Chains A and B, each alone.
Chain A
Amino acid sequence: MTPSTERLFIDLILILYLAGAAGYFAGRRFAGLSRAAFWLSSAGLAANLLALVNRVSLSGRLPLANGYEFLLSFTFITVLLYLLYEIISGNKRAGGVVMLLNGLLTASIVLLMPQHIGYTAPLMPALQSPWLTVHVITAIIAYSAFTLAAGLAIIQLRNAVPGDDLSLYKIVSAGFAMLSLSIVLGAVWAEQVWGRYWTWDPKETWALVTWIIYAIYLHLHRQRGWRGNNARLLVIIGFLLMLFTFFGVNYLLPGLHSYA
């Protein structure tokens, strides 16, 4: 793919995700549309997969090395998780919010990092490590799970049905486990590359703050029986902190993670 074709693909993904979101929102009134929304989102997922395959063939490595590739993998896993969730649970309520979030994440590629689209740079020495793959993949799965959880929590704020609390808890648990793995694997890597496993670098600090919010949610849910909107607000706050850990730290605060 040439840079302009790759850009076209990103635009296509963006349009399909936003169309999917619109379909899910409209599907609350006109039931047939949410079926169309599912297929629009699936088409977006396929385009997203093609864009990832193209990145792999362009760079010869997994698409995990900069902010653009991270976002592309992040939206792919999030939509994949959502569609699986929809198929398994038969629940389409969160589709609109989740697909809108994915649309906005894809839009952030176009708005914030257009210079990366279609181009690859060789890895700098610090990134040439097998730890890169496991550290970033676990982070992406964690981010995806938290995004799905936030979408569910936003919908549940206004109308909750029995079983909602438990599915939210399960998804947050999985995301929390992945974030824990990512932080520990990142620390192992940092020890190998810089000789320091923890430096209170902005990315580390904000990832820890995000981790703490979800840890508090898990304790309150399990041990104090927290259910309902207070618990959901914590999940949404955790998601906002996660977004800040990704965008805020990359764009506002300098640090060791300034690769994007």
Chain B
Amino acid sequence: MTLLAILKIVGFFLLILAVTKPLGLYMRRVFSGEKTFFDPIARPLERLIYRIGGVDQRKEHDWKQYTIAMLVFNVIGLLLLYAIQRLQHLLPLNPDKMGAVAPDLSWNTAVSFVANTNWQAYAGEATMSHFTQMVGLTFQNFVSAATGIALAIALIRGIARVSGKTIGNFWVDLVRSTLWILLPIAMISAIALMSQGVVQNFRPTVEATTIEGATQKIAQGPVASQEAIKELGTNGGGFFNANSAHPYENPTPFTNLLEMFLILAIGAGLCYTLGSMVGKTRHGWAVFAAMSLLFLAGAFIASGAEQAGNPIHHRLGVAASDGNMEGKEVRFGIGDSSLFAVVTTAASCGAVNSMHDSFTPIGGSVTLLNIMLGEVIFGGVGAGMYGMILFIILAVFIAGLMVGRTPEYLGKKIEAHDVKLAMLAVLILCFCILMGSAAAAISTAGTAALNNAGPHGLSEMTYAFTSATGNNGSAFAGLSANTRFYNIGLGLAMFFGRFLMIIPLMAIAGSLVTKKKAIEGAGTFPVDGPLFTVLLVGVILIVGALTYFPVLSLGPYVEHFLMHAGKLF
């Protein structure tokens, strides 16, 4: 590892560390209805939206009403996005005359964006009209992110409140996430992105004649407004096929840094929000530390592996010191590409600035493992926090078993009912990933779509179901996923991975909120120190390793050794 590569990782991490407390505190204020500096602008808009929506902001929901409201809102969003794609040829802002999107692809894309996954089985510039991008997809970029934040906040309320019944009002949390957090940050970021060259126009594809007389078609569109929320909301769906590798989405090292920052900012801030809302900021920092350890480990391993490069190509005469440049842009090089890949898979973002399919086996395995661990390394906005809380419940449960006491989490007794629900949520993810990958591996419909043979082919299929279930959306993109098998199968994986996990989670919130708070004693397992951080990391790694080590061995790990043996497929 070069000093520069270390500086990139550490420098970026310090940026995230710096924003965690101010953003986390701000979010607590927003969701507790306290005063913030942004009230003069957001409050009148909020009132207007409640009047249109008929929302009574003083009325709170219990966990069932909260979950039903969330599901209803998302199902309506799903139907609407499906309809927009199917009818895009009749809708405005379609200068390149895109036709209607096929039914299976529309289903896949609709689920994908509603579930905050943004898996893309299509090439944006060749499939989606400006209208579909700006109205259909951008809308879900905002509200799927707002939904995630709302759910995390509701769960935190369930932990923080004592002997209560309600966990907040879904509509209020949704609107406040949007108006106070997502929209203002996206607006400023979109302007910053444009200043560097990210496009924002409604023009058709430009035709250029090069100085050598060749013709080049250059697709245009309202990219900046979508790009900003794509990263901030950890959505990840690119305007263009090449996503953030495309110079119109990510033109300079500065935009690259900004995009990585946006991806992790809210997820990191929510750690502080958690600590602050439960009245124990040290607990928030302990969770932050667990996420940071996993993040930094992944970043150093991936960066080192990509810098070491591919001995097969070195033997052909390619400079070994340049590292593995296949699928990477010169302006980002090895360091900023590897870091982006770790950031986007740690968070459930899925934007890519380099092609993960062309990473070295170890570099690629880090991205895969990040998603398999449950997208809890900062994670998707909100989703990372509520996923992490599942692991916290498991961690305190295991600690309780070790000392032979009823486990407690912040004074709340964790009982059999709660642990069962937490395990159910974790198992749903494992089931979708492993069963989906297995189904693909044994069917011709699954293997016919491969771009690479050998162990790398297994990695491609596994990555697809992992990314879909984990609501990440990045891909080993060689897989030709726009087939009926993958569109429907991955659509189901995305839907289950998002919503089937949420239901047990909200049930936990409903169970915790009713409990009394026990007084901390000498036998209470502390959740605010290094011991807790280490135990939490341990639980995450053990659940991940036990579940996924076999498939990782057959995919990337065996490929690593075969690559060093010079074997080709």
A binds B: no
Which residues of A are interface residues toward B (Cβ below 8 A)? none
